[in-house]
Structure 1
């Protein structure tokens, strides 16, 4: 029973998340306290879910891309483009509180995010370019596009409907949590209740064999890159609306790396094939909890990334079955030698 539980793909990610939460509870006993203020729930756990929502969205899209054997390094730039375009359209409006203007800005931003995903899909599936190179192009160019949209400045908006996307509340909880839940449920249903999930895993395992078996590999790759771009676009809207501003230079910076780490921590292999959306969500929560913990204990900003990298490295080692087997074999060998010595003395 223990072997079956310990080999489950969610076991070690959940154990790491539990360890982080336990550390926070010991360091700050009020960490788990949740209070109702003004009809809203407040607390560290709510903050982790709220601030981790954009990363979870990006990581969900990244999971499907990685499952096909690809990678998307442009998600951070798409986050910046989406937020910049939306804030620009809202800021240029005479009535920023107009629901129609906000919906138009959201639609245009998500449309551009889909176009960005389609561009990556064309380069990877259509042209045959390596995914890391194809998405690296948009990663660099996209950041420049976001800065062009904002003219190198921070665009601020004062729109209650737009602010509601990332800073609004629904049924006591932040509205961003419901966006993430809807996207995760839709992705889980499409990949586990239809044949799409099998197609994605088949393409990731062997694209040529999948094509020969009748699977439209190119269409599958197009679909996952478009979906990943859409997820990054929604993340950009949440990020920008949460602070009522858009920063083309820093918005979504390094999100692609955090998303890849979340996918790997969640148990999905970078080689493609089998993927775990639930594991990705847990991985993203681990990264966000780790970030919250680092800030809470007062780690100096100049070494924050070093501490974060070290912890993530340790987490990946713990998850490695080969690494655990090496440790276990050494422990068993030492135990066997100790028992032999005791028997010899007796």
Structure 2
């Protein structure tokens, strides 16, 4: 059971939740107001929805032995373009304007994902370099769309995407559930998951076996771009504004951490969507904890980095074995001498 890939992530999430409960006993309290559920746990799910979406797309990219550093910029571009489209309309609450803004943003996100996939699969550029190009240029594109300003909208229908409620729960949770279910079904109930893992393990061998490795790579980068686009819609609609400079900032790093914490190796191959979901919840819970205990903003990232480092070390089997070996050598030196003489 200890060797199961979800054991340590679940334990770390439980430890964080237990700490919050001890620090604030009302942490687990959930209240019903005006037909909506409110509470810290609901906030974690709601505010963590964009990160979960980005991490789901990142999981499939990393499974192909790639990486996408541009997801934060795609998040900013998607939110900026949707808000710009709505702000230019005379009737911001019109359904046609809402649909148009969503379609334009998601199509552009798809195109940006296709661009990354083309550079990696067809042009043969290393994933970290190919996506770094869009990471830098994309942030500039987002600021060009917003004109360097924060675009605000007054569309109640658009605000519903990130701040609305369905069946007493935040609507963003249902969006995450749909994307997660679609990814799980496509990768676990069809051969697509095996294709992704084979491309990540041995791209040349998979190509010789008849798998279209380039097509698989294009597909995962496109999917990652669309996930980032949906995350951008949720972020911008939640605050009814778009900030091309700060929206989605450092999301690529948090998404990579969520994937790694969830048990997926950066070397590609086997991946775990459920582990990624738990990893993203760990990061969002940690962020909520840091704000709740009043950690000064200037050292928030430092505290977060140390905790994530501790989580990764605990998950490392080699690190745990070295700790156990040192403990045994210190407390049972005679046993070590006997083994040495026997050898």
**Do Structure 1 and Structure 2 share a fold, with TM-score over 0.5?**
yes
Cα offset, 1:338, TM superposition: 7.7
Alpha-carbon distance between aligned partners in 1 of 2:160 and 2:4, rounded to the nearest angstrom: 38
Q: Deviations over 1:25-54 (max 9, x none)?
A: 000000000010110000000000000000
Q: 1:229 aligns with which of 225, 230, 242?
A: 225
- RMSD, aligned α-carbons: 1.2
Pick the aligned partner of 2:317 from 321, 325, 331.
321
Superposed CA deviations along residues 62-105 of structure 1, whole A, max 9, x for unmatched, are 00000000000000000000000000000110000001110110
Match of 2:257 in 1: 261
Query: Could you tell me which of 106, 119, 140 is aligned with 2:102?
Result: 106
> Quick check: 1:252 aligned with 2:221?
no
Q: Where does 1:1-346 land on structure 2 (aligned, <5 Å)?
A: 5-337=1-333
The gaps in structure 1 that reach 5 residues or longer are 341-346
- Partner residue in 2 for 1:344: none
Counterpart in 1 of 2:340?
A: none
Measured in 2, the distance between the counterparts of 1:299 and 1:57 equals 27
Give the drift of 1:264. 0.3
* TM-fit CA distance, 1:339: 8.2
Shift in Å, 1:331? 2.2
User: Which deviations, in whole Å up to 9, do the C-alpha atoms of 1:237-281 show, x marking residues without a partner?
Assistant: 000000000000000000000000000000000010010000000
Query: Which consecutive residues of structure 2, in runs of 5 or more, have no partner in the other structure?
Result: 337-343
Which 4+ stretches in 1 moved above 6 angstroms?
none
Q: Structure 2-normalised TM-score? A: 0.97
Cα deviation, residue 330, structure 1: 1.9
Instruction: Decide whether aligned partners of structure 1 residues 243 and 332 sit closer, same or farther in structure 2, where only a CA change above 3 A counts.
Output: same
Question: How far apart are the structure 1 equivalents of 2:81 and 2:211?
Answer: 36
